Structure 1
């Protein structure tokens, strides 16, 4: 993809950006959904299809179009970032994580078209499309995501995944960097 010069200039200027600088940059980018259409493809049985639009040492910009499947609870490694809902509505579930314990769901929130929401460093969440309106999201992370941890609540396990794996349990052995067995929450229940 060739980004328009204005978008490239905004992203090129980001050097170890703060939370505020990233939100401001994502707001300035303001790429309409029709500009994204050529880059959206079938999710092929996965929760989403993602396309890397820009990557530097400091940031990466991705567009994702969502199927009707939810992704797995996950963090973004040592990255933090902002998610802009370009189309549709996202149902975002936020989790609490304590050391080697299974994540516990804290709350769910809806983010509608035009809304931006923050993904903190080491924060665990999962997303899914709410309804049939074709959820499309634009993501800006710093630094580029590496070492993402994906959680499988049924297996009571976590897995650090390779950079080419999305927020789902890896199907290919090469995408499993490290598997971690977790323990249930203190009250003995699984997260919902």
Structure 2
């Protein structure tokens, strides 16, 4: 993880280069992977400092909610399976509207921009495992519930789903439909 120690306020390209340079494969993380039946994924923080965080996610067959990454940007590498990534834009009423979906297969990497909204899911029952490198570490993530026309700022220990626990709901906002 020496590569990550040296990153200070990294650019988009610095992050991409670092993620590729880590050369982490699924076998390297097998002992870190647990499963989640009730959530979209099990997430494990592998590394964090003031500038970056590295996470591995083992996906169930549940898709995550549309969400942003607060003021963080990052890259996602597919370690196994295939990911369907759906990208959104915010409409005037504050609700995300679907723009397009893309399939990312094993060894592909894709960018998650600051304030960009997306959702992910395992494609066609694949065993999806993804590696995520963000800068700065994610804080203030917004998760959207499109049916309830609501958005929730979640605590740093919550993933991309509507929080079950009240303490994970930092701020809930009702949007106009």
Band of TM-score, shorter chain: over 0.9
Q: Aligned equivalents of 1:75 and 1:109: distance in 2? A: 17
**SS of structure 2 residue aligned to 1:138:** strand
Structure 1 portions without partners, runs of 5+: 1-7, 185-192
Q: Does 1:68 align with 2:67?
A: no
The number of equivalent residue pairs is 177
Q: Does 1:54 align with 2:71?
A: no
Q: Aligned equivalents of 1:126 and 1:112: distance in 2? A: 16
Q: Aligned equivalents of 1:141 and 1:161: distance in 2? A: 17
Q: Aligned equivalents of 1:40 and 1:97: distance in 2? A: 34
Q: Does 1:156 align with 2:156?
A: no
Q: Does 1:83 align with 2:81?
A: no
Larger proportion of strand: 2
User: Scaled by the length of structure 2, what TM-score is found?
Assistant: 0.98
The equivalent of 1:96 in structure 2 is 89
Deviation at 1:73, TM superposition (A): 0.1
Structure 2 portions without partners, runs of 5+: none
The equivalent of 1:22 in structure 2 is 15
Q: Aligned equivalents of 2:73 and 2:109: distance in 1? A: 13
RMSD (CA atoms): 0.9
Q: Aligned equivalents of 1:64 and 1:52: distance in 2? A: 9
Deviation at 1:102, TM superposition (A): 1.1
User: Scaled by the length of structure 1, what TM-score is found?
Assistant: 0.90
**SS of structure 1 residue aligned to 2:76:** strand
**SS of structure 2 residue aligned to 1:36:** helix
Q: Does 1:180 align with 2:167?
A: no
Larger Rg: 1
